[in-house]
A and B are shown apart, each in its own frame.
Chain A
Amino acid sequence: MAGWFDANLVSILNGFAIGSLLFILAVGLSIVFGMMDVLNLAHGALYLVGSYLAVTFAAGEPSWGGFLTALGIAALAGLIAGGALSGMTEPLARRPILDQALLTLGVSLVVAEVLSIIYGNDVFSISPPPGLDGSVAVAGNAYPTYRLALIGVGLVLAVIVFVVVERTSVGALVRASVADRDMVSAMGIDNRKVKVAVLAIGSMLATVAGVLGGPVYGARPGLDDTILILALVVVVIGGLGSVKGALIGALVIGQVESLGRALLPDLASFILFGTLALVLVLRPRGLFGPRKLAGT
């Protein structure tokens, strides 16, 4: 057992790094859908925007300045994009949920295509900022420092999101909106403002995750779909609107993606789908999903 653990330590750590990244992505997607019934299929495209911003600003000699600039601009772009998406879905608020999902699907096609016009179809790799570009020895194995830092960032963000959602009055508003939006509205809170704020912050998390994930996944066309599907699987497994669910789901899928691929390289996709199938057969609303879905 100890020997197996030692041999696969790198895969397990990779799984945690991917899990951290997926949590940052999925928590925004999950809360936006849980609160507002808006399935944001442009989430993957927003991630890719972040990755390409990292290509632009952190290119050449790796520096903290470039990396932090990319992070800042990505965060700003995410906020603006989220606000724009919120405005675009507003006229569709009275139409079936599917229409909003289709709108974001169209937006994601446009964004992905614009990115490929600007950056071409090349595969970019992004180097981590100086100081994090080396590797450290973890129990005798060399492991990239940046990924360890990513695990740390993911943990910090998870704690922040958890404290905000579970322990503050803003978080209480978010939880109340997930549980019963109409009642929140009846108590005098403007739903649309909550929606703009939540979509903006969710989109910001997606673009920031794009920058943070740049040194791991690089940037290439088609990455948006891959990322979107991983995030959706996390959200479905964890349950919509649940922070705890997003965290557990992200950690599970992170391990499936990393350890699964390392141990059974041919079956990795099946394991991903199998995990999803197993959870949905046993718990159709996800591990921590609401007992009753609003609007169904």
Chain B
Amino acid sequence: MSDVAIVPAAESAPPPASPGRPPGRGPRRVVPAVLALLILLVLAAVPLFVDPFGTSTLSRVLVFALFAVSLDLLVGVTGLPSLGHAAYFGVGAYTAGLISLHVTSEGVVPVLAAAGAGAVAAATTGWLAVRSSGVFFLMLTLAIGELVFQLAQSLSSVTGGSNGLFGIPAVRVGGAALTLPGYVYWFVLVVAVLGFGMMWLISRSPFGAVLRGIRDNEPRMRSLGYSPFRYKLAAFVLAGGFAGLAGGLFAAQVRLVTPSEAGTAASSLVLLAVILGGAGTLWGPVLGAAVVVWVRDALGPNLDGHGPLVLGLVFVIAVYVLPRGFAGLAGLRARRTGPTGPTGGTA
């Protein structure tokens, strides 16, 4: 990933907004690590105990969670609320689908190509979008998302138009096609965990600290000699790349890509996952994504396919009562037990 090369460049200057790390390896640093390891073990064991439907639902949760965390890199860490992030997810999904169909479906190739395509798409549109901020950014990204959606629909010779791109072959690892949901799940799990890990490192790096600084006080960062435009663009490209990666996993798992994957509704849902989980924490959006996918895919069919109605209501309620998402609830508990940083001592 060429994107990661940005990180060492930022390391030459000490980050002014670096959160103070607790000294030593106290229990507060060991407990989350053990917890993460336990969750990973449970997730890895899921296909052995859960039926195929549950397994593929969980695969979708993982893909959507990766997508949501990539948006959190923009919304929570950099402070750029995007309402068109599904565009890069869609670009990645179509890229992976096309490469699987026409070139090779060998494991990592379509997925990495999807990440690259997402990053390139983000770079070509991001230079315009990151010039603005706040609500202007929201409107611009909305327009970008709609542009990609309409492209996917109108370029029917390539994308299959509104019918979508279908017949994507099963993903292969070492020449063997993964047809059982359990194997696909493991493939998704490995790639998604690697993606989470990279984004966590980016967010913890000096580069991530600069992004937080820009979010909290952009004029001050500028006067300290940082170029907010470059850092915002880098964050936008990284977020687009990881969204593309999630899109590539989506194509490998669902094997059908339709224009609605890049549409405004998809962008709203992923933003809901981030807001619901708690922007800026990276782990919060994973929970948010799980809730969204559960309501849409598991609860939705029981409601005549009107899951979005429930999600809309959840969205409205979340804006009122959970201004910092699920992570805000954890922050409340942490504040009662002891003083923590402004982000609730998370991430």
Q: Point out residues on A near B: beta carbons under 8 Å.
A: 33, 37, 39, 91-92, 95, 97-99, 101-103, 105-110, 112-114, 116-117, 225-226, 228-229, 232-233, 235-236, 266, 268-270, 272-273, 276-277, 280-281, 284, 296
In the complex, chain B residues 273-328 whose Cβ is within 8 Å of any chain A Cβ: 275, 304, 306, 308-309, 311-316, 318-320, 323
- Docked pose: A291 CA to B146 CA in angstroms: 29
- B312 pairs with A107, CB closer than 8 A: yes
In the complex, chain B residues 136-153 whose Cβ is within 8 Å of any chain A Cβ: 136, 138-140, 142-144, 146-147, 150-151
- Docked pose: A296 CA to B135 CA in angstroms: 10
Nearest to A95 among chain B residues (CB) is B323
Residue in B150, B268, B319 whose beta carbon sits within 8 Å of that of A99 in the complex = B319
Residues of B within 8 A of A39 (CB): 135, 138-139
Residues of B within 8 A of A106 (CB): 272, 312-316, 318-319
Residue in A226, A266, A296 whose beta carbon sits within 8 Å of that of B154 in the complex = A266
Interface centre among B313, B316, B319 (most CB of A within 10 A): B319
Min CB gap A220→B, angstroms = 13
Residues of B within 8 A of A269 (CB): 146-147, 150-151, 154
- A105 pairs with B143, CB closer than 8 A: no
Q: Is B110 an interface residue (CB 8 A)?
A: no
Min CB gap A198→B, angstroms = 17
- A91 pairs with B320, CB closer than 8 A: yes
Q: A109-B315, A236-B140 are in contact. Are A277 and B128 (CB under 8 A)?
A: yes
Residues of A within 8 A of B315 (CB): 102, 105-106, 109
Q: A106-B312, A106-B319, A269-B150 are in contact. Are A98 and B132 (CB under 8 A)?
A: no
Q: Return 29 A-B CB contacts under 8 Å, by A number.
A: A33-B135, A91-B320, A97-B135, A98-B81, A102-B319, A106-B272, A106-B314, A109-B265, A109-B309, A109-B311, A112-B308, A113-B306, A113-B309, A116-B306, A117-B306, A225-B146, A225-B263, A228-B142, A232-B143, A233-B143, A236-B136, A236-B139, A236-B140, A236-B143, A269-B151, A270-B147, A273-B143, A280-B140, A296-B134
Interface centre among B139, B272, B306, B311 (most CB of A within 10 A): B139
Min CB gap A156→B, angstroms = 28
Q: Is B264 an interface residue (CB 8 A)?
A: yes
- A98 pairs with B135, CB closer than 8 A: yes
- A109 pairs with B81, CB closer than 8 A: no
- Docked pose: A253 CA to B320 CA in angstroms: 36
The 7 closest A-B pairs by CB, nearest first: A109-B312, A106-B315, A110-B312, A106-B316, A113-B309, A269-B150, A225-B264
Q: A109-B311, A236-B136 are in contact. Are A92 and B319 (CB under 8 A)?
A: yes
Min CB gap A16→B, angstroms = 23
Residues of A within 8 A of B335 (CB): none
- A109 pairs with B268, CB closer than 8 A: yes
Q: Is B133 an interface residue (CB 8 A)?
A: yes
Min CB gap B145→A, angstroms = 9
Residues of A within 8 A of B304 (CB): 117
Residue in A33, A107, A268, A280 whose beta carbon sits within 8 Å of that of B131 in the complex = A280
- A296 pairs with B133, CB closer than 8 A: yes
Q: A273-B144, A280-B140 are in contact. Are A113 and B312 (CB under 8 A)?
A: yes
Q: Is B249 an interface residue (CB 8 A)?
A: no
- A284 pairs with B132, CB closer than 8 A: yes
Q: Is B170 an interface residue (CB 8 A)?
A: no
